[in-house]
């Protein structure tokens, strides 16, 4: 097994508020149980770049544990630790407004935890690529707002969030076989931070699992029209396919692929408005 991560700034940002992290390595490979984590700080919250890093690092005592734990235990442990460190740094609690996606290997199974929006991509040993895109939706609004672990610190704020934005999440599942989209299906459910969108599965038939921030859905390209130029969205499937088109799964394979993919994006005129982060656990090679 191997793990690696990559993150980069969006073209509309002055600072990168995404953070991705995976196991430390030595010459023999990764140390301990393989894990990967991605955190995406809220652009409208001051110092959420700090918050993203605090949430990611505060998750390590759980992601490196052998004994199982529940999503609620992870959620409360991470946000409590992050809040304590934040106070020591004189950071406002709103700096912790960041999503948390984490994956870990425990014995014979893979656990994936999703607090907030983002993308999980899994490639199977038969070559099939499955992309699971989680978005929060609010009826009557063009887009929803993700549920941040930060809301667990303030029950009044938590209730206000659900009152204003509702509880609906949309998961779009794409299946790609031989580079062609063969399935696209949407599911809308009510969100429960303790239960919804957490996955436990065997990894025997997986090449890798990749966690990504929602920045992979922020790409656009400039196109010529009859009346001038306009920005056209780039389908998230095309972006994800490029980012996980690994030529091998050894060494700094995510860093290599991320750098190559963004060079290709630039040549194609694709620009990401939002930060992009990617962390991967590889089971192949």
pLDDT digits (tens, 9 = 90+) for 225-243: 767 778 899 999 999 999 9
CB 268 within 8 A of CB 22: no
Among all chains, which residue has been given the structure tokens 């600072």?
15
Q: Work out the pLDDT band at 25, boundaries 50, 70, 90.
A: low
Q: Work out the pLDDT band at 222, boundaries 50, 70, 90.
A: confident
- Residue 175: strand pairing partners: 130, 183
Q: Label the pairing between strands 219-225 and 129-136.
A: unpaired
Residues 6+ apart with CB under 8 A from 97: 41, 42, 45, 48, 51, 148, 150
Q: What pLDDT score does 224 carry?
A: 75
| pLDDT, the chain, mean | 92
What's the CATH code of the domain at 126?
Answer: 3.60.40.10
Helix (H, G, I), strand (E, B) or coil at 9: coil
Residues 6+ apart with CB under 8 A from 128: 175, 176, 177
pLDDT digits (tens, 9 = 90+) for 61-86: 999 887 778 899 999 999 999 999 99
Residue 111 pLDDT greater than 90, yes or no? yes
pLDDT average, residue stretch 21-35: 70
Q: How far is CA 144 from the centre of its chain?
A: 17
Q: What pLDDT score does 230 carry?
A: 81
pTM, full prediction? 0.94
Q: What pLDDT score does 170 carry?
A: 93
Rounded to 10 deg, the angle between the 71-88 and 48-58 helix axes is: 130
Instruction: Tell me how many domains the chain contains.
Output: 1
C-alpha neighbours within 13 Å on the C-beta side of residue 221: 15
The rounded distance, in Å, linking the Cα atoms of 82 and 40 is 15
Exposure letters 209-239 (e unless 16+ CB within 10 A, then b): bbbbbbbbbbbbeeeeeeeeeeeeebebbeb
Among all chains, which residue has been given the structure tokens 């859905």?
217
CB 261 within 8 A of CB 14: no
pLDDT digits (tens, 9 = 90+) for 124-178: 999 999 999 999 998 877 777 999 999 999 999 999 999 999 999 999 999 999 9
The neighbour count for residue 50, using CB atoms within 10 Å, is 20
Q: Which residue segment(s) compose the domain that 86 sits in?
A: 2-282
C-alpha neighbours within 13 Å on the C-beta side of residue 228: 2
Residue 273 pLDDT greater than 80, yes or no? yes
| Main-chain phi, psi angles of 89, to 5 degrees | -95, 5
């Amino acid at each position: 097994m191997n793990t690696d991560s990559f993150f980069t700034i969006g073209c509309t940002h002055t600072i990168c508020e995404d953070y991705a992290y995976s196991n430390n390595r030595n010459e023999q490979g990764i140390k301990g149980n393989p894990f990967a984590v991605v955190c995406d700080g809220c652009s409208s919250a001051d110092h959420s770049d700090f918050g993203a890093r605090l949430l990611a690092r505060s998750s390590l005592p759980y992601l490196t544990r052998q004994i199982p734990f529940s999503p609620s235990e992870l959620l409360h442990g991470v946000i409590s630790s992050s809040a304590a460190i934040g106070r020591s740094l004189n950071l406002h609690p709103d700096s912790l407004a960041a999503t948390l996606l984490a994956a870990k290997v425990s014995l014979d199974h893979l656990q994936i935890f999703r607090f907030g929006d983002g993308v999980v991509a899994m490639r199977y040993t038969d070559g099939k690529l499955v992309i699971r895109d989680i978005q929060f939706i609010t009826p009557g609004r063009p887009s929803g707002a993700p549920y941040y672990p930060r809301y667990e610190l303030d029950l009044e704020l938590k209730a206000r969030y659900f009152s204003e934005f509702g509880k609906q999440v949309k998961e779009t599942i794409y299946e790609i076989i031989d580079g062609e989209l063969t399935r696209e299906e949407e599911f809308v459910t009510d969100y429960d931070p303790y239960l919804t969108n957490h996955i436990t599965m065997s990894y025997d038939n997986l090449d890798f699992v990749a966690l990504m921030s929602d920045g992979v859905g922020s790409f656009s390209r400039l196109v010529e029209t009859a009346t001038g130029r306009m920005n056209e969205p780039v389908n998230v499937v095309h972006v994800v396919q490029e980012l996980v088109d690994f030529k091998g799964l050894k060494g700094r394979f995510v860093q290599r692929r991320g750098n190559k993919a963004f060079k290709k994006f630039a040549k194609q005129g694709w620009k990401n408005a939002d930060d992009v982060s990617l962390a991967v656990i590889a089971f192949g090679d």
